[in-house]
């Protein structure tokens, strides 16, 4: 199992019972968070109306001052060009509802390069189409385009080559893992991929997860050895595109179609004298990297002894390079086997190695010491540097867990929000059958991890491990994830792990639960108070289930039975029928809905005294009516009040 090798934040203990604490975080749609701050710009009132829903998602809606006041909108400053130029530097993404030509002219002077430009989406005034204009790949623009389209009910229009192939595009495949893009001719290699020409891949660092979901006709040729890598016969003899994935600093001749990704696998162990200046650390690192041919782009972070945590030179070194600093106690470092221990160091700080031991410790299980300690002396101090390569890269990203209910099964029943969550995720984890149900909704290049039925805990643990590592993981449940669903298993497991409630972030996307689907197939049986009872006694003692059945039956709740009966578990269902018979009329209407809203759906109507012999299995939901429920033709109806039973005739119902 891939596990994060970096430290999780220590769990915050205690509970936060402040009312509204979550709603403070929920002012924007969670799926938009990676794209905020986001400017939505409209020039006409109708265009502003089209973009207005994005305000609820967290966007700021800008309109010409002359259009004010408009609901939810703010006036931009004239002149537009200068205002946009300033926004360009501050915003993560842009959505325009303007003529495409006008957008192109407005942003043309601001574009600098494909990997740093913010994503720009153009929506037509009527909100029918959302076009990914630029920043589409590297900036996550394809995902934003799908998200905006989903939100506005528009069709996403993606025009780059990777969008229509079921392939991760070469220039984004490392993004989920936090890899850095290195030098190379990205345009040429991407073009080769788009033309389905072979791309030879050398990967000696970083995750292989991106390789596991490739379609059969993918263009990658994996080389374990440059000389022996197999090549498609038609490509033999021709120069082919190259993709290198490692920690090596490489310059390619400009005419070659070659690129490199750098997974962040290098942990730099540093020991230094008190007061050693940042400049000396910089020159020491530069020298060591250059001597070994390693790239700074592959650095995961810096590790040292806890005594050095407040060294100003070291701290500013990490801050300027945006690198995490991991510190370890001498007792921890002492236990790490290293090639070059020193008695002098042991005497001074309580561990025979700082640089080598800290690098290895931070890099985690299976790490390799690439560079044994090197000493650099200079003005104002001295530093020791060692470099270890980790098996699992540091992603540098905050992971997210989306608990997604997909409803009963048909894609038409998946809510737009759940759809969007599935598309935004890096990884989908779930029972294989449910993942198949949502296969048409997937985004090319997503990692999909199907599981057999029953492996709930395993699924939950895997999803959590991937999210702790920094990935956005959608855990897919049928119906609603929090109703007898995998969502609850994930939350319980997080609690077991001492989760701080924030990292990884959890978002829950409700789905249509089985009792709603089943009810909708037979009528309106849930119009009065109802309850759900699961008959599975796997984790719940039968005595508790029986007590609930008694209570529901005696209190006249309309009752939906989940997990009613399996081949090996028949007793609870027979007992449930017997309990209800004691409290209800034998002619009480009962509906059995098998595979509701799936292609092999079956609906049976019966009455309570015949229920025990009815065809009921684990893909059925059973709805037992209350004492005023009736069949009307094929329909099962529960009145909204207890008319004729002495209750208030004016019981209101929501419409």
What is the contact surface with ligand SAH in residues (CB under 6 A)?
Answer: 408-409, 477-480, 483-485, 513-514, 517-518, 562-564, 593, 595-596, 598, 618-621
Instruction: For tokens 């205002």, name the residue.
Output: 83
- How many residues are there in the chain? 655
Give least dist CB 297 to ligand SAH, A: 44
Q: Which is nearer to ligand SAH, 263 or 408 (CB)?
A: 408
Please state the separation of Cα 89 from the chain's center in Å: 27
Distance CA 226, CA 149 (A): 43
Nearer to ligand SAH, 309 or 574 (CB): 574
CB 62 within 8 A of CB 75: yes
Residue whose tokens read 């609870």? 572
- Nearest alpha carbon to residue 577 among 556, 596, 561: 561
174 vs 589 by CB, closer to ligand SAH: 589
Instruction: At 339, list the tokens.
Output: 């090639």
Is residue 91 within 8 Å of 118, Cβ to Cβ?
yes
Q: Which is nearer to ligand SAH, 229 or 619 (CB)?
A: 619
CB of 612: closest distance to ligand SAH in angstroms?
17
Phi-psi region of 350 (alpha: psi -120 to 50; beta: other; left: phi over 0): left
Shortest Cβ distance from residue 450 to ligand SAH (Å)? 17
Query: What is the C-alpha radius of gyration for the chain, rounded to an integer number of angstroms?
Result: 30
> What is the C-alpha separation between 481 and 401, in angstroms, rounded?
12
Q: Rounded CA gap, 368 and 356, in Å? A: 10
Q: How far is the CB of 426 from ligand SAH (least distance, A)?
A: 23
CB of 601 to ligand SAH, least distance (A): 8
Instruction: Give min distance, CB of 448 to ligand SAH, in A.
Output: 20
- Whichever of 263 and 409 has its CB closer to ligand SAH, that residue is 409
In terms of CB distance, is 244 or 484 closer to ligand SAH? 484
Task: Mark residue 14 as left, alpha or beta (left: phi above 0; alpha: psi -120 to 50; beta: remaining).
Answer: left
Q: How far is the CB of 511 from ligand SAH (least distance, A)?
A: 6
**Smallest distance, Å, CB 639 to ligand SAH?**
24
Q: Which one, 458 or 601, has the nearer CB to ligand SAH?
A: 601
Compute the least distance from the CB of residue 583 to ligand SAH, in Å: 22
- Cα(482)–Cα(275) distance, integer angstroms: 54
Our CB check for ligand SAH shows the closer of 146 and 459 to be: 459
Per the CB < 8 A criterion, the answer to whether 467 and 399 are in contact is yes
Element (H, E) at 180: strand 180-184
Closer residue to ligand SAH, CB minimum distance, 483 or 545: 483
| 3-state percent helix, strand, coil for the chain, nearest multiple of 5 | 35, 25, 40
Nearer to ligand SAH, 550 or 601 (CB): 601
The structure tokens listed for 20 are 């509204």
Q: Tell me the closest approach of the beta carbon of residue 619 to ligand SAH, in angstroms.
A: 6
Q: Is 539 exposed, middle or buried (0-12, 13-18, 19+ CB in 10 A)?
A: exposed
Nearer to ligand SAH, 429 or 518 (CB): 518
> How would you classify the pairing of strands 368-378 and 381-389?
antiparallel
Contacts of 511 (CB under 8 A, 6+ apart): 404, 405, 406, 407, 414, 415, 418, 477, 478, 479, 480, 481
| Cα angle 265-466-336, degrees, rounded to a multiple of 5 | 45
- DSSP at 124: -
What whole-number distance in Å separates Cα of residue 402 and Cα of residue 467?
10
Least distance in angstroms from the C-beta of 416 to ligand SAH:
18
- What is the distance between the alpha carbons of residues 120 and 107, in angstroms, rounded to a whole number? 9
Taking the complex as a whole, the smallest distance from the CB of residue 184 to ligand SAH amounts, in Å, to 46
Q: Which is nearer to ligand SAH, 72 or 601 (CB)?
A: 601
Q: What is the DSSP string of 209-270?
A: GGGTT--TT--EEEESSTTT----GGGTTS--EEEEESSB-----TTS-EEEEE-S-EEEEE
> Tokens for 598?
């799936």
CB of 515 to ligand SAH, least distance (A): 7
Q: For the chain, report the end-to-end CA distance as a whole number of angstroms.
A: 49
Nearest residue to the partner ligand SAH, using Cβ: 479
Residue 542: φ, ψ to 5°: -55, -35
Give whichever of 425 and 622 is closer to ligand SAH, judged by the CB atom.
622
Report the nearest approach of ligand SAH to the CB of residue 156 (Å): 29
- Which residue lies nearer to ligand SAH by CB, 358 or 476? 476
Contact 147, 32 (CB under 8 A): yes
Rounded least distance, CB 510 to ligand SAH, Å: 9
Cβ distance to ligand SAH smaller for residue 118 or 479: 479
């Amino acid at each position: 199992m891939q596990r994060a090798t970096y430290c999780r934040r220590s769990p915050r203990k205690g509970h936060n019972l402040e009312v509204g604490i979550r709603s403070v975080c929920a002012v924007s749609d969670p799926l938009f968070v990676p794209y905020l701050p986001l400017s939505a710009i409209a020039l006409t009132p109708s265009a502003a109306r089209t973009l207005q829903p994005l305000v609820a998602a967290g966007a700021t809606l800008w309109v010409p001052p002359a259009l004010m006041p408009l609901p939810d909108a703010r006036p931009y400053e004239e002149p537009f060009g200068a205002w946009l130029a300033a926004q360009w530097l501050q915003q993560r993404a842009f959505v325009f509802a303007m003529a495409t030509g006008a957008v192109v002219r407005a942003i043309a002077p601001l574009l600098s390069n494909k990997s740093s430009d913010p994503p720009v989406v153009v929506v037509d005034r009527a909100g029918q189409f959302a076009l990914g204009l630029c920043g589409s790949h590297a900036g996550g623009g394809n995902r934003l385009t799908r998200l905006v389209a989903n939100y506005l009910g528009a069709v996403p229009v993606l025009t780059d080559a990777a969008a229509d192939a079921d392939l991760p595009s070469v220039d984004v495949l490392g993004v989920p893992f936090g890899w850095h893009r290195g030098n190379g001719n990205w345009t040429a290699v991407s073009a080769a991929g788009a033309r389905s020409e072979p791309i030879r891949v050398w990967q000696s660092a970083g995750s292989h997860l991106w390789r596991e979901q490739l379609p059969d006709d993918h263009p990658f040729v994996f080389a374990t050895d440059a000389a022996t890598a197999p090549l498609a016969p038609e490509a033999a003899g021709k120069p082919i595109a190259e993709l290198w994935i490692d920690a090596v600093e490489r310059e390619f001749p400009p005419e070659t179609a070659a690129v490199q990704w750098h997974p962040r696998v290098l942990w730099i162990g540093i020991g230094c004298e008190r007061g050693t200046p940042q400049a000396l650390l910089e020159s020491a690192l530069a020298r060591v990297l250059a001597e070994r041919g390693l790239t700074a782009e592959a650095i995961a972070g810096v590790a040292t002894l806890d005594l050095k945590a407040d060294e100003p030179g070291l701290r500013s070194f990490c801050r300027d390079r945006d690198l995490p600093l991991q510190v370890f106690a001498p007792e921890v470092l002492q236990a790490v086997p290293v090639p070059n221990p020193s008695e002098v160091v042991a005497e001074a700080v309580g561990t025979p190695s700082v640089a080598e031991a800290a690098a290895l410790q931070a890099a985690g299980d299976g790490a390799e010491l690439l560079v044994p300690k090197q000493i650099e002396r200079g003005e104002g101090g001295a530093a020791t540097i060692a470099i270890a390569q980790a098996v699992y890269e540091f992603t540098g990203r905050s992971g997210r867990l989306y608990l997604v209910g997909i409803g009963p099964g048909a894609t038409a029943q998946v809510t737009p929000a759940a759809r969007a969550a599935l598309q935004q995720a890096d990884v989908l984890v779930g029972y294989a059958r449910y993942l198949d149900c949502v296969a048409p909704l997937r985004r090319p290049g997503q990692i999909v991890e199907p599981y057999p039925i029953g492996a709930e805990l395993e699924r939950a643990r895997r999803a959590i491990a991937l999210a702790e590592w920094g990935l956005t993981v959608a855990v897919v449940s049928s119906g609603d994830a929090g109703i007898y669903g995998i969502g609850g298993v994930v939350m319980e497991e997080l609690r077991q792990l001492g989760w701080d409630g924030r990292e990884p972030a959890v978002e829950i996307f409700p789905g249509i639960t089985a009792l709603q689907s089943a009810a909708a197939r037979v009528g309106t049986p849930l119009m009065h108070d109802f309850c759900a009872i699961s008959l599975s006694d796997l984790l719940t003692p039968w005595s508790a289930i029986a007590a609930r059945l008694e209570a529901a039956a005696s209190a006249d709740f309309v009752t939906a039975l989940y997990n009613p009966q399996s081949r090996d578990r028949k007793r609870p269902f027979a007992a449930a029928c017997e309990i209800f018979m004691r409290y209800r009329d034998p002619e009480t209407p009962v509906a059995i809905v098998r595979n509701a809203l799936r292609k092999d759906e079956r609906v049976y109507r019966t009455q309570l005294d015949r229920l025990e012999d009815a065809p009921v299995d684990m893909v059925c939901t059973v709805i037992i009516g209350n004492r005023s429920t009736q069949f009307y033709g094929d329909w099962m109806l529960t009145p909204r009040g207890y008319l004729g039973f002495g209750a208030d005739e004016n019981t209101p119902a929501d419409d």
